[in-house]
Amino acid sequence: MSGIKSRMRLPEIKKMGRKAIFLWAVCMLMLLSGCWDLRYLDKLGVVLAMGVDDDPSGKQKLRLTVQVVLPQNVAAESKGGTGGTPVTTFTETGDTIFEAIRKMSAKTSRRLFFSHTQMLIIGEKMARKGGIIPLVDLIERNPDIRTDISVVVTRGVRAERLLQMTTQMESIPVNQFHEMIDVNQEAYAMNYAVLVKDLTKLTGKGKQQAVLPSFRIVGDKAAGKSVDNVKTIPAEAIPALSTMAVFRDGKLVDYLKPKESRGLAWLQNKVKSTVIKLACPESKGNLIVEVHEASIQYKIKQSKDGMPVVQAKLEVTGSIQEIMCPGIDVMDEQVLNEIEELTSQAVKKEAEETIRKMQKKWRVDALGWGKEVYLQQPEVWKRIEKDWETVFPEVQHEVVCKTKISGSGVRGESIVK
Amino acid sequence: MFRSYMRGKGRGSKKADKRSVKAEKHEEQALGNFTGQPLSVSLQQNIDRINFEVGGSQDIILRRLKLTDAGNTEALVVYIQCMVEEERLNNFVIRPLQRKRFSNESKIQPSEFLEVVKSSLLLTGIVMEINDWKMLFQKLFLGYSIIMIDGAANAIAANVIGGPKRGVEEPKTEMAIRGPREGFTESIRSNSALIRRKIRSPKLWLEQLTIGEISQTPVCMMYIKGLADENVLKDLRERLEAIQIDGILESGYIEELISDQIWSPFPTVMYNERPDVIASNLLEGRIAILVDGTPFVLIVPAVLNMFFQAAEDYYQSFDISTFLRMLRFVSFLIALLMPSIYVAIVHYHQEMIPTQLLLKLAAQREGVPFPAYLEAFIMELVFEILREAVVRMPTAAGNTISIVGGLVIGQSVVEAGIVSPAVVIVVSFTAIASFVSPAYSLGIAARLLRFFLLLAASTLGFYGIGLVVLLLLLHLSNLRSFGMPYIKPFAPLYLKDLRDTLVRAPLWMLRQRPQKLAEKNQVRQQIKTEPRKEPEQ
């Protein structure tokens, strides 16, 4: 052993010592960060939804409600235990959202965590009075909050109350709201999801106005808060989608009627699937056409006086799903052509009704026509940009709809005689 | 004796210490270096010398024989009990010596005796003449029997090697469902024979060295002349010859002493227990190093890619082999990264996981007393302890440990709420993934690096993981194994070689040997053997 020791030179030992010190220093360097930005998962209050209402006392601009998950209860549920509610809410007033959030720390034991927020709910009164655009600035600006969160408005109820509801199908209410919009868009297309990033896009060229899907409560509003609500069949109060709401400069103008709401979806290319009820051509009763695909294309032309003319071309593909009247032979191509024509007319009627309301009643360009003009006829847009609010109601338009019926189910003639 | 004598005397003063160092150097020479010391002509002197050198060890048998009727020419047979096959020794060495009686001894010189014994009497295959003590002891301890004749300057060594030996069994470390079931044994000769039985070519060359000043271990280099790179061979030869160590007990000694870079968790020398794997590597132009006393044969140069290849990859169809290769790569990454990714996500990047998963994880963390990184550290450590406990346990105790480990630690700890189930899942999955790698030595790398990555993840999150991975890549691209870049063929990129990396192309596509290995003889297959197309009708 001593033989080896004697062979090792002093400089070598020094060199190795230096290396060891260097390594030690590198290891210590890691600790210097002090776990900066480290968050403990069990010390986070995961916020799934934010609701903004006006301050009823009027002292401050808004009243913020956040819906926070209680993970221990979510887990207890899956284990079959009877925990408390899966979520809870906190409410605080403030002039801005961020201020309200930070003030909320006086009530929460965990730090609120917004990266998983899925929905922003704006109360009806707030939407009418305060405007929605300033509310999304925080979401857009803050890197911790996603911009693909859905924005909705309430109808006849405060956002706070909606967030405090218990729901049956999903234990976490926000999941229920969120899924409702998607399911509706995919099955009936009366509402469609509008995201924060969609709202921020509106501030660009084109002067498009906002539309938002709206929620209301069906049933006993007061009973909705309690866990007992979900213990009865059916629940005493359930959240339900209403129709799309129209905004002018960020302030709520009105809610559309159901047919108009879908008309808006046609015009905005948001229909994924829906059903169209038609009156049978030769007898009493109805038949249903299920739409699988729908798309719209805008073409902006110029009229002789230099004003834009909007040509909308709708293409719809669907199939006959239900016939409740006698005498329709779906094997006959002539009959199918007739039904195609009827469908086109129905769709066109819905779309035109919406356009008429937008142009004449509210004078609000929520259809994005201004943007289309800007994209397709920039010179025209340059000229009329300033007066778009007055020009829009007078814009000539033409809606063409083409329908293709691709099937009639697995049955031929109707069983109705 | 000598050693303790000097130590005893030298204790105390510094001067004496120095002297003892010198004495030790002298002693080192005495320990095994008999080079150039000729044998004595006198048989009695030789007997005395042997007895002196081995200290009269009783297992060394010195058998005196009389060669003539008169009894004045004596012979001596030296062997070690149980290292020779006694039956062969009796029949082929001692019996012929005793049967033959030289009558007119006065006319025959002792050296002629020796010649007659060597050429016509001994019945063993290998017979060689020995003229110095170094050779004598070397052969003696290999299991030869030494025959000495009074008056002759030389001795004869006859091969009667025998003694305890394990038979050829199925390799324990790398099992195969399809493929040969034979594995190497501890005997170097039977190992080289096993390789020769795979490659029956005169071009399979073998070079033998003896390494270990005291242990005198036979070490063999085997390679295919014309395929193996001459420079690598020369380099390897130099490295092997430079080894000055008292003993080589396992090929691991050689591995560590010839590695290019030992400050690395990654192995730059591969070992294997399967003759078919060694043969396939020889055919690719690599060099095998056999060490007596171990079934593990080394292969150089070794690149990272080789550690993901199993023998079976080439015996079963290429599609499943490709799938399994990718699975192994992925498993390695899981074994390396999964705990650290879990820690990073849970501590720093909660926004990255789907909401439902986040809620589940959060629910599991509820009420757990330790932060996730500590939890992961503890559980990884517990797993390593369990693993180490089971490895060397007798099977009966091993079962108990796995029950205690699996049930008590796996379940009770979670039920008691001391550790969250997610960590247990992550750790156990990581453990399973780390067993996928066919090469145990690469699994070790993942095992060690996992802790560094955990540390980085718990202080810096994904950024830390990124940093460490980057460092690892730097380190890997810096590694060489006998001049071969360690992550060849990925960097530097050799497109043709990629056919046998993440994927295993059909054999008819692997027409060339790996590049930069057998440069003069690249082509493996001459004729196109790709599937024939049916003639169109």
Pairing of strands A44-54, A119-122: parallel
**Domain-embedded: residue A32:** no
Binary contact (A69, B359; C-beta < 8 A)? yes
Residues contacting residue B153 through CB under 8 Å, at least 6 positions apart: B38, B39, B41, B111, B131
CB proximity A57 to B under 8 Å: no
Of B28, B368, B460, the CB nearest to A33: B460
Q: Is any Cβ of chain B less than 8 angstroms from the Cβ of A75?
A: yes
Boundary-marking domain end, from A255, A286, A308: A255
Q: Is the pLDDT of residue B318 over 70?
A: yes
Residues of chain B neighbouring A33 (CB-CB closer than 8 A): 459-460
> What is the per-residue pLDDT for B102?
65
Residue B364 has pLDDT above 70, yes or no: yes
Cα–Cα dist A113/B406, whole Å: 36
pLDDT by residue (tens digit) across B66-109? 877 666 778 899 999 988 998 889 988 888 888 776 665 556 77
Q: Examine the pLDDT at B268 and tell me if it is beyond 60.
A: yes
CB contact under 8 A, A116 and B351: yes
DSSP of B267-321 = -SSEEES-HHHHHHHHHTT-EEEEETT-SPEEEES--GGGGG--GGGGTS-HHHH
Output the six-digit token pair for A125.
């009164």
Is residue A131 domain-shared with residue A96, that is, in the same domain?
yes
Facing residue for A75 by CB, picked from B24, B28, B363: B363
Q: pLDDT band at residue B151, thresholds of 50, 70 and 90?
A: confident
A-proximal residues of B, 20-49, CB under 8 Å: 20-21, 24-25, 28
The answer to whether residue B460 scores a pLDDT higher than 50 is yes
In a mutagenesis test of the A interface, which of B458, B459, B468 is the best target, namely the one with the most A β-carbons within 10 Å? B459
> Which class for B183: exposed (0-12), middle (13-18), buried (19 or more C-beta within 10 A)?
buried
Whole-angstrom distance, CA of residue A276 vs CA of residue A340:
11
pLDDT greater than 80 at residue B44: yes
- Does residue B401 surpass a pLDDT of 90? no
Note whether residue A26 is domain-resident.
Answer: no
Range of the domain at A321: 266-417
Classified as helix, coil or strand, B207 is: strand
Would you state the pLDDT for residue B368?
A: 86
Chain B contact for A41 (CB, 8 A cutoff): yes
> How distant is the Cα of A292 from the closest Cα of chain B, in angstroms?
30
Spatial contact of B312 and B322, defined as CB atoms under 8 Å apart: no
Q: How far is CA B335 from CA B348, B420, B437, B471, B479, in A?
A: 21, 20, 10, 18, 21
Q: Determine the residue among B18, B19, B352, B366 to mutate to test chain A binding: the one whose Cβ has the most chain A Cβ atoms within 10 Å.
A: B366
Q: Is B455 on the interface with A (CB under 8 A)?
A: yes
Round to whole Å and give the CA distance between B300 and B484: 9
Residue type at A86?
A: P
Strand ranges across the sheet with B60-66: B60-66, B74-80, B144-149, B155-159, B127-130
Tell me if B475 sits within 8 A of B265, measured CB to CB. no
Q: Determine contact: A387 vs chain B, CB below 8 A.
A: no
Contacting residues of B for A146, CB less than 8 Å apart: 351
Residue at A111 is within a domain: yes
Q: Which residue of A has its CA nearest to B459?
A: A35
Among A204, A236, A255, the domain boundary falls at: A255
The per-residue b/e assignment along A134-159, b for 16 or more CB within 10 angstroms, e otherwise, is: ebbebbeeeeebbbebbbbbbbebbb
Q: Which chain B residue lies closest to A71 (C-alpha atoms)? A: B363
Each domain of chain B, given as residue ranges in start order, spans: 34-159, 188-302, 318-485
Q: A190 and A169, same structural domain?
A: yes
Determine phi and psi for A256, rounding to 5 degrees: -80, 165
Integer Cα distance of B308 and B405 in angstroms: 29
Same domain, A238 and A150: yes
Rounded-to-integer distance, Cα A156 and Cα A159, Å: 10
Q: Does B359 touch chain A (CB under 8 A)?
A: yes
Chain B closest CA to A42's CA: distance in Å?
A: 6
A228 and A293 inside one domain: no
Among B325, B418, B313, B404, smallest CA distance to B365 is for B418
A125 and A220 together in one domain: yes
A98 and A221 fall within a common domain: yes
A364: tokens are: 């609000």
Same domain, A331 and A194: no
Residue A299 is predicted with a pLDDT of 94
**How many Cβ pairs within 8 Å bridge chains A and B?**
79
Number of other CB atoms surrounding residue A232 within 10 Å: 10
CB contact A31 to B (< 8 Å):
yes
Same domain, A189 and A312: no
Residues A300 and A227 both lie in one domain: no
Chain B contact present for A28, CB below 8 A: no
pLDDT of residue B12: 42
Is residue A24 assigned to a domain?
no
| Interface residue A144 vs chain B (CB under 8 A) | yes
Give chain A positions within 8 Å (CB) of B456: 30
pLDDT digits (tens, 9 = 90+) for B461-481: 999 999 999 999 999 999 999
User: H helices of B404-490, where?
Assistant: 413-415, 421-434, 440-478
Contact B21 A144 (CB under 8 A): no
pLDDT at position A83, please? 64
The residue among B8, B32, B294, B3 whose CA lies nearest residue B138 is B32
- Here the CATH number for the domain that contains residue A398 is 3.30.300.210
How many domains in chain A?
2
Query: What confidence category does residue B5 fall into, taking pLDDT thresholds of 50, 70 and 90?
Result: very low
Query: A111-122 burial string, b = 16+ CB within 10 Å, else e?
Result: ebbbbbbbbbbb
| pLDDT one digit per residue (tens) for chain A, 417 residues | 444 444 556 777 788 888 889 888 877 777 776 667 788 888 889 999 999 999 988 899 999 999 999 888 876 555 544 567 889 999 999 999 999 999 999 999 999 999 999 999 999 999 998 889 889 999 999 988 988 899 999 999 999 999 999 888 888 899 999 999 999 999 999 999 999 999 998 888 888 999 999 999 998 888 888 888 888 888 889 999 999 999 999 999 999 999 999 999 999 999 999 999 999 887 888 999 999 999 999 999 998 888 899 999 999 999 998 888 887 888 888 888 999 999 999 999 999 999 999 999 999 999 999 999 999 999 999 999 899 989 999 999 999 999 999 888 888 777 877
The mean per-residue pLDDT over the stretch B419-446 comes to 89
Q: Which residues of A touch B16 (CB under 8 A)?
A: none
Q: What is the 3-state secondary structure (H, E, C) of B57-68?
A: CCCEEEEEEECE
Using CB atoms, pick whichever of A3, A30, A44 lies closest to residue B350.
A44
Query: Contact B370/B420 with Cβ under 8 angstroms?
Result: no
Tokens of B325: 């290769």
Exposed/middle/buried for B387, CB within 10 Å: 0-12, 13-18, 19+? middle
Q: In the prediction, which pLDDT does B8 show? A: 38
Provide, as residue numbers in chain B, all residues whose Cβ is less than 8 Å from the Cβ of A147: none
Query: Is residue A10 in some structural domain?
Result: no
pLDDT at B426 over 70: yes
Q: What is the pLDDT of residue B4?
A: 39
| Residue A66 DSSP SS3 | strand
CA distance B48 to B52: 6
Burial class (CB in 10 A: 0-12, 13-18, 19+), A350: buried
B303 versus A39: which is more confidently predicted? Answer: B303
Domain identity same for A190 and A114: yes
Sorted by sequence, the CB contacts under 8 Å of residue A87 that are 6+ apart come out as A48, A67, A68, A69, A70, A172, A173, A174
> What is the pLDDT of chain B when averaged over all its residues?
85
For residue B251, how far is the Cα from the chain centroid?
A: 3
Does residue B23 carry a pLDDT above 50? no
Question: Which DSSP state fits A366?
Answer: -
Q: How far apart are the first and last CA of chain A?
A: 108
Element at B322 (helix H, strand E): helix B318-347
Q: Is residue A271 part of a domain?
A: yes
Distance CA B387, CA B398 (A): 10
**Pairing assessment for the beta strands A150-154 and A119-122 based on DSSP bridges:** parallel
Residue B6 contacts A, CB cutoff 8 Å: no
Q: Is B457 exposed, middle or buried (0-12, 13-18, 19+ CB in 10 A)?
A: buried
Q: What residues in A contact B25, CB-CB < 8 Å?
A: 3
B461 in contact with A, Cβ within 8 Å: yes
Interface test with B, best of A31, A41, A79 (most B CBs within 10 A): A41
pLDDT value at position A125?
93
Assess whether the previous peptide bond of B492 is cis (omega < 30° from 0).
yes
Please give the radius of gyration of chain B, using alpha carbons only, rounded to the nearest integer. Answer: 30
Classified as helix, coil or strand, B221 is: strand
Which positions 325-384 of A are in contact with B (Cβ < 8 Å)? none
In the prediction, which pLDDT does B13 show? 43
Single-letter amino acid, residue A173: P
A184 is a domain residue: yes
Determine whether the interchain pair B347/A38 forms a contact, defined as Cβ–Cβ distance below 8 Å: yes
The verdict on a CB contact (< 8 Å) between A31 and B459 is yes
- pLDDT at site B285: 92
- The answer to whether residue A31 sits within a structural domain is no
pLDDT at B1 over 60: no
> Angle between the B421-434 and B318-347 helix axes, to the nearest 10 degrees?
150
Q: For B485, what's the count of Cα atoms within 13 Å in the CB-facing half-sphere?
A: 15
B205 confidence band (pLDDT: 50, 70, 90): very high
Q: Cβ–Cβ of B362/A69 closer than 8 Å?
A: yes
Which residues, at least 6 apart from A80, have a Cβ–Cβ distance to it below 8 Å? none
Lowest-pLDDT choice from A142-151, B63-72, B128-137, B269-278: B63-72
If you average pLDDT over residues B41-45, what whole number do you get? Answer: 88
CB contact under 8 A, A41 and B362: yes
The confidence score (pLDDT) of residue B258 equals 92
Residue A74 touches partner B, C-beta closer than 8 Å:
yes
Give the C-alpha separation, A127 to A177, whole Å. 19
User: What is residue B9's predicted lDDT score, i.e. its pLDDT?
Assistant: 39
Closest CA to B407 of B429, B422, B428: B428
Same domain, A248 and A275: no
Whether B16 and chain A come into contact, CB under 8 Å, resolves to no
A63/A190 same-domain check: yes
